[in-house]
Structure 1
Amino acid sequence: MTHRFASLRPRNTPANLPAHARLLALLLVIVVAGSGCARFGKMFKDKDADEGQPVEQIYAKAHRSMTNGNWSAAETSFKRLVAQYPYGPYTEQALVETAYAQYKAGKHEDAISSIDRFIRTYPTHRNTSYMYYLRGLSNSSRDTVFLQKAWRLDASRRDLATPTQAYNDFSIVAERYPNSRYAADARNRMIALRNMFARHELETALYYLRRGANVAAADRAKYLLETYPQSEHQNDAVATMAAAYAALGNETLAADAKRVLQQNEPNHPYLAGNWPDYPSNWRKLNPFAGEKSALDND
Structure 2
Amino acid sequence: MIKRKNFVSVMFVVFAVITLSGCSSSDDEQLELLANQGAQALYNEAKRNMNIGNFTAAAQILSSIDSKFPFGPLSHQVQLDLIYSFYKTANPEQTLATIDRFIRLNPNHADVEYALYMRGITNMERDSNLFQSLFNVDRSDRDPSLSREAFEDFRRLIESHPDSKYAADAKQRMLYIKDRLARYEIEVARFYMRREAWVAAANRGRYVLEYFGDTEQVQPALEIMVSSYDQLGLDSLKSNALKTLKLNYPASEFIQ
Which stretch shifts more, 149-158 or 76-85? 149-158
Residue type matched to 2:71 in 1? Y
Residue type matched to 1:212 in 2? E
In the TM superposition, residue 154 of structure 1 has moved relative to its aligned partner by 3.6
Q: Tell me, yes or no, if the aligned pair for 1:215 and 1:244 is still in contact at 8 Å.
A: yes
Quick check: 1:186 aligned with 2:186? no
The count of aligned residue pairs is 235
CA shift in 2, pair 1:271/1:65, >3 Å: farther
In the TM superposition, residue 49 of structure 1 has moved relative to its aligned partner by 4.4
Which residue in the other structure is 1:233 paired with? 217
CA distance in 2, matches of 1:190, 1:259: 30
In the TM superposition, residue 120 of structure 1 has moved relative to its aligned partner by 1.2
Equivalent runs, 1:1-298 vs 2, <5 Å: 42=26, 44-144=28-128, 146-271=130-255
More helix by percentage: 2
CA distance in 1, matches of 2:249, 2:80: 47
In the TM superposition, residue 254 of structure 1 has moved relative to its aligned partner by 2.0
Helix, strand or coil: the match of 2:90?
A: coil
Report which of the two structures shows the higher radius of gyration computed on alpha carbons: 1
Which stretch shifts more, 205-214 or 130-139? 205-214
Task: Report the TM-score when normalising by structure 1.
Answer: 0.72
CA shift in 2, pair 1:220/1:145, >3 Å: closer
CA distance in 2, matches of 1:42, 1:208: 61
CA shift in 2, pair 1:165/1:146, >3 Å: same
CA distance in 1, matches of 2:171, 2:165: 11
In the TM superposition, residue 143 of structure 1 has moved relative to its aligned partner by 3.6
For structure 1, the 5+ residue unaligned runs are 1-36, 273-298
In the TM superposition, residue 43 of structure 1 has moved relative to its aligned partner by 5.9
In the TM superposition, residue 75 of structure 1 has moved relative to its aligned partner by 0.5
Could you list the per-position Cα deviations for residues 28-54 of structure 1 after superposition, in whole angstroms to 9, with x for gaps in the alignment? xxxxxxxxx99x962641552432124
Which residue in the other structure is 1:22 paired with? none
Task: Report the TM-score when normalising by structure 2.
Answer: 0.83
In the TM superposition, residue 250 of structure 1 has moved relative to its aligned partner by 2.9
